[in-house]
Every structure is written in structure tokens, then in C-alpha cells.
Amino acid sequence: MGGLYVAEGRLGEASFDNPCCYRPGQFTGRRDEGSAGAAYHRRMVGPDEIAAAVEALRAGEVIGLPTETVYGLAADASNPAAVARIFAIKGRPSDHPVIVHLAEAADMSRWAREVPPVAAALARRFWPGPLTLVLPRAPSVALAVTGGQDTVALRIPAHPVALAVLRAFGGGLAAPSANRYGRISPTTAAHVREDLGEQVRIVLDGGPSEVGLESTIVACLDGRVTVLRPGRIGVEAIEAVSGPVTKATAAAPRVPGSVASHYAPRTPVELIASAAVADVVTAHQRDGVRVAALAPSSPAEAAAVAWIVAAPDAERYGRDLYSHLRTLDQAGADVIVVARPPEAPDWVAIHDRLTRAAAG
């Protein structure tokens, strides 16, 4: 077979030989102290870099900010002009809300008109971590942050660099993913530079994002708890704290990542049953179509310009996903064939991201 063949986690930024920082399972109710991920360390960011980033934020600039989910494009959430710069750089629609990142749970009362007891309980259980809470907006919160809605999305990230910046800044940071709107989210500082170039003067390099998928979004409104976007923290983990969650309806608040086409490479994506991937790749090759593939096993006879063997478990697959899609997007293929992942609760967020990527 010609072209590039990559075993899971073995190519450049798609690799996880560089260590991360917190316990795998921290956000799912598990405590897997002994797993391989426990030895993962992030790159150190010095106090001078933190100070320069905070100075830029106070001056109304945007910065690239590492979090455990994906890298964010951060600005002072209380400064409408700074928030507008986020939208302009990303090409983001003005009615698309952004998440406000906080340093402490006590800061929720500055941004939310009301913090229901169930929201406080979820924050105690999962913060810092990849959970966003949608709450009633405080009157002082700019509508530019909420997409014109009367709700606001809040979270505390579980990344030491993000927390150091937030604590030094002393306020909330609006921080959607640091990429062009609708495209693949960035999980390294290099991805941010690749996507946004000189439009962002400061990008803090905190190493690869360890979760690799955007946060679970949960609305706590009108006495109901509703999951509006799946993420690392699954419904079962939410319900263990909140009790039964309700199904989202058309009347639910708009949230990031909820449009049909999102997280998309420039190369078209085809989601294929795992057992059919090799046949589909062979058929494409026969028709003169150049193929890149993401599948759970290595290629046999099928030829592809690039083939990445995906991790077998949802946690590693999700952590790798955006880096792998970027690698395949840059392989010079006409189409990216992705084996459909297992149908299981741990894979719900991955299915969501891949379905939206394929719709692009």
C-alpha cells in the first residue's frame, strides 16, 4: 500500500507520548489512579507568559487559551468590544452564544440571575472539568455573550494554565474554540496558529488537550435539567447527581456546537459501518478517488493516501479525534472515510461530533 499508515497515537500531534495532567475517569465518576494517563504532564507556562496574557486581556485583546477540552479563543466576557473580536476572528454568527469561563464556583452569582441547588450540586461534583451549566442570565451580562438569549453558559476549566490566567485576570473569559467557525476544533497551540495565524498575538502553549472534545452542556432552568450537548461527562453521571434529565426540545436555549454541520474538515467525511471500510476504500480507489481513513484496524489490501488506526476505547478515541481529523484533512485525499464507532453510552459525544463533521 502506498501513502501514509499511522498506528494509533503515533503521528506528530496526533500522538499521546507527551504526558497530560489529571486522572483518567475524573469526570465520569471513576478514579483510575493506576492507568497510563496518570503519568501525563502538560507543558509548563511561565509566570511572565501568564502576566502578558492577562495584560492583553485587560487591554481588550483576545488570546489562545489551553483547556482540558479544546483550546479557546479567550476575551474579557464583560467587554462587548473584546467579545466582538472573538466573533470577527472566528467568523461566528452573532446569535451563537459563547461559554463564560470562571475561576471559582462562587463567581456564578456574578453571571447568573439564579443558581438552582441542582446546578450548585453539579458544579461541586464536576468543576473544575468539562461541564458547562446554562443558567438564567444576570441583567449585567452582555447579550453579545449569550447570543441575545436570557441564559448564560458557565464553566470552570480543569487546566492549570487556564485557571492561572482566570485567577490573575479576576473576571470571566468568553472562550469558544480557537478556530474558524464550523471547522475542526484545536487541541494544541500549533492548531490555533495554523487556523488563526497573526490574528491572535498570544497563544499560551499548555500542551495537547487531554479530553479533546468540547464540554457537556447542561441547562438547569425552570426546575428541569436538560443535556443540550454531549461530552465526556455522560448522562448517567449527570443523573447520579441531578436525578432524571429531560429531553431537549426546540424551545431549549441555543448552545455552541448545536448546528447540523460543525467540527468539519475541508475534506468531505463519510461515516461507514466498520466492517465495510476496506470495501469502500477499495471501491473509491477503483474510481480514482483518493481516500484517507480512520478505522479500528489496520489496512489489508485497501489502499489509501493515509490510514490511522483509532483507539479502541472512547476516552482515547475522543482525545485523539480532532488531531486525527486534521492529519487526514492534510493528506491530500478527496474523501475521509471514518468507521462508525460503537453504539454505546461512552461514545455518544463522539457520534455527535462525527455526524456533524460528516454533514459539512
Q: Walk along the chain (360 residues) and give the pLDDT tens digit of each residue.
A: 334 333 333 333 322 232 222 223 333 333 232 233 333 345 678 999 999 999 999 999 999 999 999 999 999 999 999 999 999 999 999 999 999 999 999 999 999 999 999 999 999 999 999 999 999 999 999 999 999 999 999 999 999 999 999 999 999 999 999 999 999 999 999 999 999 999 999 999 999 999 999 999 999 999 999 999 999 999 999 999 999 999 888 889 999 877 778 889 999 999 999 999 999 999 999 999 999 999 998 876 667 889 999 999 999 999 999 999 999 999 999 999 999 999 999 999 999 999 999 997
pLDDT of residue 25: 34
pTM of the model: 0.88
Q: Are residues 144 and 226 in the same domain?
A: yes
Number of domains comprising the chain: 2
The angle subtended at Cα 82 by Cα 170 and Cα 49, nearest 5°, is 55
Same domain, 226 and 282: no
Domain that holds residue 75: 47-242
Same domain membership, residue 93 and residue 54: yes
Q: Compute how many other C-beta atoms are within 10 angstroms of the C-beta atom of residue 48.
A: 8
Evaluate whether residue 323 is within a structural domain: yes
CA-to-CA separations, 121 to 47, 112, 113, 126, 270, in angstroms, rounded: 33, 15, 17, 9, 40
Instruction: Say whether both 66 and 203 belong to one domain.
Output: yes
Please report whether residue 277 resides in a domain. yes
The domain boundary residue, chosen from 209, 242, 275: 242
Does 172 lie in the same domain as 113? yes
Q: How many CB atoms lie within 10 A of CB 148?
A: 12
- Domain CATH code at residue 291: 3.40.50.11030
What backbone phi and psi angles, to 5 degrees, belong to 215? Answer: -65, 155
Task: Please say whether the beta carbons of 138 and 111 come within 8 A.
Answer: yes
Pairing of strands 173-174, 72-76: antiparallel
The distance in angstroms from the start CA to the end CA of the chain is: 29
Q: Which of 115, 60, 347 is nearest to 231 (CA)?
A: 347
Phi then psi for 133, rounded to 5 degrees?
A: -105, 130
Q: Is residue 62 part of a domain?
A: yes
* Domain identity same for 66 and 10: no
Residue 222 shares a structural domain with residue 296 = no
Same-domain status, 183 and 328: no
State the pLDDT at residue 266.
96
Establish if 67 belongs to a structural domain: yes
8-state DSSP, 29: T
Given this model, what pLDDT does residue 299 score?
77
pLDDT value of residue 42: 58
Q: Is residue 142 part of a domain?
A: yes
Mark which of 190, 210, 242 sits at the end of a domain: 242
Q: Find, among 187, 121, 108, the residue nearest to 154 by Cα.
A: 108
pLDDT score recorded for residue 298? 82
The reported pLDDT for the residue numbered 300 is 65
Between CA 357 and CA 360 the distance in angstroms is 5
**10 Å Cβ neighbour count for 358?**
19
| Predicted local distance difference test score (pLDDT) of residue 258 | 78
**Residues 191, 113 within the same domain:** yes
Same-domain pairing of 59 and 8: no
Domain assignment present for residue 23? The answer is: no
Provide the grid cell at 114. Answer: 439564579
Instruction: Provide the pLDDT for residue 5.
Output: 34
| Chain position carrying cell 464583560 | 78
Structure confidence at residue 31 (pLDDT): 27
Assess if residue 42 is contained within a domain. no
Task: Please report the pLDDT score of residue 129 as a whole number.
Answer: 98
Judge if 60 and 200 occupy the same domain: yes
pLDDT of amino acid 249: 87
- CATH code of residue 73: 3.90.870.10
On the question of a cis peptide bond just before residue 93, with omega within 30 degrees of 0, the verdict is: no
Collect all residues with Cβ–Cβ distance below 8 Å to 56 and sequence separation of at least 6.
63, 201, 202
pLDDT for 302 equals 64
Tell me which of 176, 209, 242 is where a domain ends.
Answer: 242
User: Does a structural domain hold residue 34?
Assistant: no
| Residues 347, 231 share a domain | no
